Amino acid sequence: MPAYDKFYSRLAVGIKASDIRELLAIIKHRKDVISFAGGIPDPKLFPKSELADIAREVILKYGDDALQYSETKGLIELRETLSDFMRRTKGIQTDAEDLIITTGSQQALDIVARGMIDPGDVVVTENPSYLAAIGAFKIAGAKLVGVEMDEHGMDTHKLEEKLRSLKNSGERVKFIYTIPVGHNPAGTSLTLDRKKHIIELAEEYDVMVVEDDPYSYIIYEDGADTTPLKAIDKYGRVIYLSTVSKVLAPGLRIGWIAAIDDLTRKFELVKQYLDLHSPTLTQFIVAEAVKKGLIDRMVKVATPYYKSKRDAMLSAMEDYLPDYVDYTKPIGGLFIFVKVDKEGFNTTKLLEVAITKYKIAYVPGASFFVDGTGHNTMRINFSYPTFDEIYEGVRRLSALIKNE
Amino acid sequence: MPAYDKFYSRLAVGIKASDIRELLAIIKHRKDVISFAGGIPDPKLFPKSELADIAREVILKYGDDALQYSETKGLIELRETLSDFMRRTKGIQTDAEDLIITTGSQQALDIVARGMIDPGDVVVTENPSYLAAIGAFKIAGAKLVGVEMDEHGMDTHKLEEKLRSLKNSGERVKFIYTIPVGHNPAGTSLTLDRKKHIIELAEEYDVMVVEDDPYSYIIYEDGADTTPLKAIDKYGRVIYLSTVSKVLAPGLRIGWIAAIDDLTRKFELVKQYLDLHSPTLTQFIVAEAVKKGLIDRMVKVATPYYKSKRDAMLSAMEDYLPDYVDYTKPIGGLFIFVKVDKEGFNTTKLLEVAITKYKIAYVPGASFFVDGTGHNTMRINFSYPTFDEIYEGVRRLSALIKNE
């Protein structure tokens, strides 16, 4: 056999299998390990019988189209449905013509990356930020510049400083990437003032904003502001990404980009080379599901359910974790971010011990930081584990933190 | 609004909307135009009621998994099913571990392109070759070198000359891209000797072969050789791509890469950044469909049906087209390639007239050539039009050829 490595692109050479990913892949098959590592919905909530009926119905009724090739941008029925849905639930005024249906949010990130980033371009993100977004931007060649966060997410005064210094040093900033609500991994949400500030800064420094919003439908506190930046963007600066993964079912892989003007057309052309179009069948299913109110219903059911899990997790943390451990209290999303203020405590190095000795898994926080920091942090998911696992898992986590 | 073009990547700047694509998009809504332009299956053949039942069943039975996130490489059930299927029908011995499920063949092409091609690398293709493959390789930065074809496809002696001269000039050739059976657009199929020759040349010149095989299941002539290169590759040189798009339903967007060794792992890592994984639901559906023999059955039904359409098209061409028009007689696939030996006849320039005046559409052949030739050629599809449309369409095509 030939030595295959000579056939790799530089991109392929640069992508390494991550040890953490390998470790976390193994635990999927180990029933004795409690995992807080995933970011996945509780399958109990999937509206299975309704989706089964919808799937059958769309194939029988629209099979000639639902099983055939379709438009690169996505089914017009789905784009119109989602355009209405965003208007009704989020106040976002994006015409169906400016929507592009993607294979989950991940493909939306890849399309944005490929359509906008050249090697050396700067992307400004929250620090920490979503692992797979960082990855998509990096393989497109982006330099990532992180902005400090506090309990309300990205500190926009620090953002302003960064933008100013990047401008002064002649860097080409393409966009600010933000997860405004239920931040992954930090669990924070931006205040309305900060959202406005980000948009003003985008206009002032002539950069775009990529708003990644998978979580804002599931909000645990009354009165929390969940206005999308896209809804208050008067300058045409915001590209908005969302998905049905957390509010219907991730296995359908339906996400979308609410783009703008010429960018829509470019993103469409990029997507054409990626996969021609996302599956027609799953698009038909999601269009029907949204029309039938399945997402509205799932949000109603999921919100109190995940809230009770969040509360269980926070309560277990209060009971078990020593006082040098700090953690966020998220108003939305699926994650709590934990910081251990103990000399030399390194969650990356400890993951293997955590799994093998303490039978508990998390995602080491360092993976989410763009500046090599965060070794004493970890991301904890509360949507997937059962209540028993939440309590028992936090107890194990506490033992890990105290003993290691 | 900002001037968005400053935010484009060079890739996005380079991707232009094609006039031809625009023209062909318009005719979808015009009932008076007969289109030979598509490459799409006849929806009459879709096994709708069976797929409707399967879709319902997999959601009800396996919904917790079928609606959930799943492995980047693809569902193990589907990979095992396809591995068995390729072994049984094609003599391809690829373990499920070396399969990667993709969102149609197009994503397979994109993954191969991103995993293997750096700007300036050479990809050797048949000339003409598949438009969207050319596109995927080009946006990765490949230089395309075309090899002349005759009625048996790529002339492998010319291939040898090209490989030698590329080697002598120090070019870095990553792979030979071939569509061995029912070539798109040329309609040709390689002889077994040529397939063996390609593999020997790949070994001798130390390059890979990317075999794109969507069509070899639908073969119109007994005794035609449809052995995949992958099945006779003793050196580990062949990466094989296929799809259920032509033998089940394209709207499911299920394709796959039968890769090899370290390349499998790299392709998997690349795919992770593209979309995490292809939809779980459609993977479950296809796994069930293959197990239940739906593809075997569809091949049995589609083969005589498309053969009768091919024969109708060939017969109409013999009746109507003037003798300075040459065309292929495909043993498989969905296309006939037409060459008009008439001074100054330019199918690209004539497309608009063909549509508006003659009410007939085709794909101009020049789009498929990597060297700017082929202006007097066109690709004609026979799978989608009805028999009436085939006869009437060829009559119109003949008028166009004679009058313009």
Work out the number of other CB atoms within 10 angstroms of the CB of residue A108.
30
3-state secondary structure B272-313: HHHHCCCCHHHHHHHHHHHHCCHHHHHHHHHHHHHHHHHHHH
* Residue A351 in tokens: 């993951």
Question: Which percentage of chain A shows pLDDT scores above 70?
Answer: 100
**How far A23 CA sits from the closest chain B CA (Å)?**
15
The distance from CA B376 to its chain's CA centroid, rounded to whole angstroms, is 22
Does residue A53 sit at the B interface (CB-CB below 8 Å)? Answer: yes
Q: How far, in Å, CA of A404 to CA of B402, rounded?
A: 85
Provide the pLDDT for residue B114. Answer: 97
**Distance, CA of B178 to CA of B165 (rounded, Å):** 19
- What does the pLDDT read at residue A24? 79
Residues 6+ apart with CB under 8 A from B268: B72, B73, B100
Quick one: closest CA in B to A109, which residue? B274
B158 CB-contact burial (10 Å; exposed 0-12 / middle 13-18 / buried 19+): middle
Cβ burial of B151 (10 Å; 0-12, 13-18, 19+) is exposed
Interface of A with B in 134-153 (CB under 8 A): 135-136, 139-140
User: What is the rounded CA–CA span in Å between residue B345 and residue B4?
Assistant: 39
The residue among A244, A269, A275 with the most chain B CBs within 10 A of its CB, best to mutate, is A275
pLDDT digits (tens, 9 = 90+) for A136-171: 999 999 999 999 999 999 999 999 999 999 999 999
| DSSP notation for B1-20 | ---GGGG--HHHHH----HH
| pLDDT score of B91 | 97
Residue A20 has pLDDT above 80, yes or no: no
DSSP state string for B186-228: T-----HHHHHHHHHHHHHHT-EEEEE-SSTT-B-STT-----
Q: Which residues contact A263 (CB under 8 A, 6 or more apart)?
A: A115, A239, B4, B7
Range 326-345 of A in CB contact (< 8 A) with B = none
Count CB-CB contacts under 10 A for residue A377.
Answer: 26
Question: Where are the alpha helices (H) located in A149-218, listed in sequence order?
Answer: 156-168, 192-205
Q: State the pLDDT at residue A363.
A: 94
Closest-CA distance of chain B to residue A323, Å: 35
**Partner A contacted by B78 (CB < 8 A):** no
Residue B379 has which token pair? Answer: 């690709």
Mean pLDDT value across chain A: 95
Q: Which residues of B118-134 are buried (b: 16+ CB within 10 A; e: fewer)?
A: beebbbbbbbbbbbbbb
Asked if A66's CB is within 8 angstroms of B272's CB, the reply is no
Chain A to chain B Cβ contacts (< 8 Å) = 271
User: Widest CA span of chain B, in angstroms?
Assistant: 63
Residue A17, pLDDT above cutoff 90: no
CA distances from B126 to B105, B304, B351 (A): 18, 28, 24
For residue B2, give the nearest of A237, A98, A164, A172 by alpha carbon: A237
ipTM of the complex, rounded to two decimals: 0.95
Neighbour tally for A2: CB within 10 Å: 17
Q: For chain B, say whether A236 makes contact (Cβ under 8 Å).
A: yes
Is the pLDDT at A26 greater than 90? The verdict is: no
B296 token code pair: 């075997």
Chain A positions touching B41 (Cβ under 8 A) are 68
Q: Can you give the pLDDT at residue A81?
A: 98
Beta strands B363-364 and B377-381 are antiparallel
Question: Comparing C-alpha atoms, which of A246, A228, A238 is closest to residue A104?
Answer: A246
Burial of A344 (0-12, 13-18, 19+ CB in 10 A): exposed
Task: Report how far residue A150's alpha carbon sits from residue A152's, in angstroms, rounded to the nearest whole number.
Answer: 5
Contact B376, B365 (CB under 8 A): yes
Q: Which residues of B touch A10 (CB under 8 A)?
A: 118
Residue-level length of chain A: 404
Is B10 an 8 Å CB contact of chain A?
A: yes
| Domains of chain A and CATH, by start | 4-46+297-403 (3.90.1150.10), 55-293 (3.40.640.10)
Residues on chain A touching B273 (C-beta within 8 angstroms): 15, 106, 110, 132, 135-136, 139
Which amino acid, one-letter code, is at B262? D
Provide the sign of the torsion angle of the four alpha carbons B162, B164, B166, B171, taken in this order. Answer: positive
**How far lies B84's CA from each of B80, B81, B229, B252, B253, in Å?**
6, 5, 18, 20, 20
Identify the CA nearest to B211 among candidates B108, B360, B57, B100: B108
Q: Which two tokens stand for residue A364?
A: 């080491």
**Token pair in block for residue A240:** 């908005």
Pairing relationship of beta strands A360-361 and A34-35 according to DSSP bridges: parallel
For tokens 């108003």, what's the residue? A331
For CA atoms A12, A15, A16, A19, the dihedral sign is negative
CB burial readout B76-106, b (16+ within 10 A) else e? ebbbbbbbebbeeebebebebebbbbbbbbb
For residues A98 and B79, give the distance between their C-alpha atoms in angstroms, rounded to a whole number. Answer: 36
- Which amino acid type is present at position B12? A
Q: What is the pLDDT of residues A243-259, one digit of tens each?
A: 999 999 999 999 999 99
The answer to whether the CB atoms of B250 and A1 lie below 8 A apart is no
- Decide if A276 and B40 are in contact by the 8 Å CB cutoff: no
Report the residue from A59, A103, A251 with minimal CB separation from B275. A103
Q: Residues 293..312 of B with a Cβ closer than 8 Å to A: which?
A: none
Instruction: State the sign of the Cα–Cα–Cα–Cα dihedral B118, B119, B124, B127.
Output: positive
- How close B324 gets to chain A, by Cα (Å)? 35
Rounded CA-CA distance B210/B188 in Å is 17
On whether the CB atoms of residues A363 and A24 are closer than 8 A, the answer is yes
CB atoms within 10 A of CB A283: 26
| Side chain identity, residue B107 | Q
Task: Specify whether the CB–CB gap between A191 and A178 falls below 8 A.
Answer: no
pLDDT, tens only, A58-101: 999 999 999 999 999 999 999 999 999 999 999 999 999 999 99
Do the Cβ atoms of A150 and A127 come closer than 8 Å?
no
Confidence of residue A180 (pLDDT cuts 50, 70, 90): very high
Q: Is B179 exposed, middle or buried (0-12, 13-18, 19+ CB in 10 A)?
A: buried
Planar angle of CA A193, A194, A196, nearest 5 degrees: 65
| CB pair distance less than 8 Å for B277 and A253 | yes
Rounded to whole angstroms, the Cα distance separating A76 from A13 reads 39
- Contacts of residue B286, defined as CB under 8 A and 6 or more positions apart, other chains included, come to B78, B244, B248, B252, B254
Q: Report DSSP state, residue A251.
A: G
Q: Looking at beta carbons, which residues of chain B come within 8 Å of A17? A: 265, 269
Strand pairing partners for B154?
A: B149
- What pLDDT is attached to residue B404? 87
Q: In the prediction, which pLDDT does B170 show?
A: 97
Q: For B249, which of A46, A67, A103 is closest by C-beta distance?
A: A67
Indicate if the alpha-carbon torsion angle A186, A191, A193, A196 is positive or negative.
positive
Give the pLDDT of residue A328. Answer: 93
B322: preceding bond cis by omega (within 30 degrees): no
Structure tokens at A268: 């469409």
List per-block mean pLDDT (blocks of 10 residues) for chain B, which spans 404 residues: 94 84 76 90 94 98 96 96 97 97 97 97 97 94 97 97 98 98 94 98 98 94 93 98 95 97 96 95 98 95 96 97 96 95 94 95 94 95 95 97 93
Shortest distance, CA B356 to any CA of chain A (angstroms): 23
Say yes or no to pLDDT of A18 above 80. Answer: no
Which pLDDT score is estimated for A168? 97
- Residue A96 touches partner B, C-beta closer than 8 Å: no
Residue tagged 């959930």 (tokens): B68
Q: Does A173 touch chain B (CB under 8 A)?
A: no
CA–CA gap between residue A201 and residue A124 (Å, rounded) = 12
Instruction: Report whether pLDDT(A358) > 80.
Output: yes
Sequence letter at residue A116: M
Q: Which residues of A touch B139 (CB under 8 A)?
A: 273
Residue of A nearest to B208 (CA): A7
Does an H or E element contain B52, and which? helix B48-66
